[in-house]
Amino acid sequence: MGTTAVSALPFLSLIPNCRLLPLRSRITCSSPAASPSSSRPLRFIITFAPPKPQSPPSPTPDCDFISDSGHQLFIPWIARGDDGKLRLHSKPPARLIHSLVHEDTGTKRSKKEPKEKGQRKVSGEISQYSKAARRFYNENFRDEPQRLCKVLAAAGVASRRSSEELIFGGKVTVNGSVCNTPQTRVDPGKDVIYVNGNRLPKRLPPKVYLALNKPKGYICSAGGKESKLVLELFDDYMNSWGKRNPGTPKPRLFTVGRLDVATSGLIIVTNDGDFTQKISHPSANLSKEYIAVVEGDVHKRHLVALSQGTIVDGVHCTPDSVELLPKQPDISRPRLRIVVHEGRNHEVRELVKNAGLEIHSLKRVRIGGYRLPSDLGHGKHVELEPADLKALGWKS
């Protein structure tokens, strides 16, 4: 029996997944207090210490940190992965670093600055856009350089033709050099321009569009001292410009087309040369409506003669429409509504004269799709809205 029990030790080593721990294993032998000659055999009891409990495996970090003592130094970062589960990292996740970089931390509030919403910040205001953003806008979206004569006209120096004369006369310098070419491209915001020793402002005046009810007796072009000019009707408007637009240069106004001194009614006044050229050019095909008050009676033959047209400046001009308007109690003379689109000099007057009639008064009431407001008094003006400019054929 004892031999069999002792021989079991090497047999245990043959059992799969079984190993003996020599440091912790022990063999005890117990026997009753008896003589060696006792009939009861010896019995060996073999016991093993329980296995040492193992700690759960720690998560494998992304990278190892070794301290000076040689032990691993682990800095934990707990973040949720793409699968929605929390994971342990040894370094900050990439998206966390990205969010920290792009986070708007704001600016520190000074103790002297007001904290209440109702109070405004007086000094030290931060610009709405950064320098890099303003530089990008100026390089990509800013207006392109324009011809020098056009810039001078837009700045109110003189008309485009007079500006060309100033340039040819050597009275204009660009960046310290005399410029004799009106087609030179310049940028008032960057280039230093002097005219007769006076610095041209960097900021050009804004575009102005006005509708005037011109009275009789005023001329549209620049005349002598004895003549009454249409632009004199805007003296109050120009004098109050600085109060309404502080820090902005005054515009140089001029009329779009002309009305003769004896004709009243609608005329457009602006400082936009492109706008003037657009609606004044024959390709615009803008119709113009006039109300002519004539002397005497109007018969059918007069209307037929008006419809057939007449020769004006060597060109046969035919009106778009001619209509005899109903009589009004306060106006004893007959009124004719005449619509033309060419707009030649004295065209309506020549048509009426060729028909054998004499004009008492002539008034223009419509240009294109814009009609003179009925409540706008003589010598008064009104600013045109974008819808009004669209009615005049201006799409910019």
Closest CA to 187 of 142, 131, 229, 225: 142
d(CA 344, CA 243): 40
SS3 labels along 20-82: CCCCCCEEEEECCCCCCCCCCCCEEEEECCCCCCCCCCCCCCCCCCECCCCCECCCCEEEECC
Q: Provide the annotated active-site residues.
A: 260
d(CA 326, CA 381): 29
Closest CA to 273 of 369, 386, 146, 181: 146
d(CA 336, CA 338): 6
What is the amino acid identity at position 207? Answer: K
Closest CA to 222 of 182, 186, 252, 192: 252
